[in-house]
Structure 1
Amino acid sequence: MGIEFGGLLGLIILALDIWAIFRVIQSGASTGAKVLWVILILVLPVVGLIIWWLAGPK
């Protein structure tokens, strides 16, 4: 049961990360800022997503 929950949680995080990356790319931020946000989200999937949600380009 733990493995199934972990897999589901991983899929949810992956889906949210992909959604966040698309939102970053579509934002009006500069190219440099977009690249930094995407790298942050890719390198730190959970923490990067939380930081982007709190402080990212609106």
Structure 2
Amino acid sequence: MFNVVLNLLLQFSLAALALGAPVVQDVSATTAGNSWQYGTGGGIIGFIVLVLDIIVFIEVLKSNRPPLHKLLWCLVVFLFPIVGMIVYWLFSNRAEHNSGGSYEPLP
């Protein structure tokens, strides 16, 4: 059941990213100067951040933290994708909360 929900969440998030892409009235050739705005450079970096955030979400959900702590970490990473991910990797004490790869059932 969880895999189905996770799969749907990932599909909807990718669809939302595709539909939320900026559209420009005046389409011109992308140069190195504006590639961060509308070109491929910003898309690649955005995709890398998305993949790393999804890895953090999966790691948080697999951990043996209390459900409230899981929710708070997921909210921090969701609301602040780059900063939240860095804060999680630096300050979350991941080794202590590693559950060994299995999901913990909620009480």
Query: Which residue in the other structure is 1:11 paired with?
Result: 47
Specify whether residues 46 and 13 from structure 1 end up closer, same or farther in structure 2 by C-alpha distance, changes over 3 A only.
same
RMSD: 1.0
Pairwise CA distance, 1:57: 4.2
Aligned residues: 58
Q: Which runs of 5+ in 1 are unaligned?
A: none
Identity of counterpart residues, as a percentage? 33
Structure 2 unmatched runs, 5+: 1-31, 95-107
After TM superposition, list the pairs within 5 Å mapping 1:30-45 onto structure 2: 30-45=66-81
* Structure with the higher helix share, 1 or 2: 1
Q: CA deviation at 1:21?
A: 0.3
Q: Match of 1:27?
A: 63
Higher gyration radius (CA): 2
